[in-house]
């Protein structure tokens, strides 16, 4: 039996106490859900599991020596998380050396930093995600001291790997997050 979305969320909650990190994984899962609906509609749940678990060991094991390797060891031991999800989680850490071969892996990497960035943009807008346009996100990306921890380089590489213009990919992520704006608290 493969892990379900609910089980993945419960596992993530067991490992992560931080509301911020839980929220980040929910946002990435929402973007993965939307991407799967376009790319691999029969596998939406697996793509969501990938999003929900991609940083689940980060709170307890944040170093490059341990994240995401400790979490992956745990998932392998459980035996209910398939190798495509495992490879995608490994591949989202650029230093792991694991190539992002699958569409799932490419999308996870491409939405990870961008989802965080869009959430940061929403926080400084009176209406949150409502009415947010890619143009505004692109402008913020050019502002080096805004959400400075977010790697612009990784966002650009993610888009390149998907073969999408940044504006197109940003629009897709805005759309995905907007669809769940209420439960992700992205509206005032």
Q: Using CB under 5 A as the criterion, which residues of the chain lie in contact with Fe ion when the complex forms?
A: 55, 112
Is 55 or 166 the residue whose CB approaches Fe ion more closely? 55
- For 172, half-sphere exposure in the C-beta direction (CA atoms, 13 angstrom radius) is 21
Comparing CB distances to Fe ion, the nearer of 26 and 166 is 26
Distance CA 153, CA 88 (A): 19
Closer residue to Fe ion (CB): 71 or 134:
71
CB of 117 to Fe ion, least distance (A): 11
* Residue pointed to by tokens 């502002």: 143
At its nearest, how many Å lie between Fe ion and the CB of residue 112? 4
CB of 127 vs Fe ion, minimal distance in Å: 25
Which residue reads 């005032």 in tokens? 188
The answer to whether the beta carbons of residues 21 and 58 sit under 8 Å apart is yes
* Residue (26 or 112) nearer to Fe ion, CB: 112
Q: How far is the CB of 155 from Fe ion (least distance, A)?
A: 12
> Is there a cis peptide before residue 72, judged by omega within 30 degrees of 0?
no
């Amino acid at each position: 039996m493969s892990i379900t979305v609910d089980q993945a969320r419960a596992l993530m909650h067991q490992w992560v106490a931080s509301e911020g990190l839980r929220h980040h994984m929910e946002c990435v899962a929402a973007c993965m859900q939307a991407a799967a609906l376009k790319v691999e509609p029969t596998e939406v749940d697996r793509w969501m599991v990938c999003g929900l678990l991609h940083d689940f060991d980060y709170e307890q094991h944040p170093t490059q020596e341990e994240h995401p390797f400790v979490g992956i060891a745990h998932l392998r031991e459980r035996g209910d998380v398939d190798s495509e999800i495992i490879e995608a989680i490994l591949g989202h850490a650029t230093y792991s050396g694991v190539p992002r071969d699958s569409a799932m892996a490419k999308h996870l990497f491409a939405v990870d930093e961008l989802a965080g960035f869009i959430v940061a943009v929403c926080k400084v807008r009176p209406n949150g995600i409502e009415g947010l346009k890619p143009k505004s996100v692109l402008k913020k990306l050019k502002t080096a001291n805004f959400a400075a921890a977010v790697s612009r380089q990784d966002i650009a590489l993610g888009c390149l790997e998907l073969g999408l213009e940044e504006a197109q990919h940003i629009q897709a992520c805005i759309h995905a997050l907007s669809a769940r704006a209420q439960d992700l608290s992205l509206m005032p």
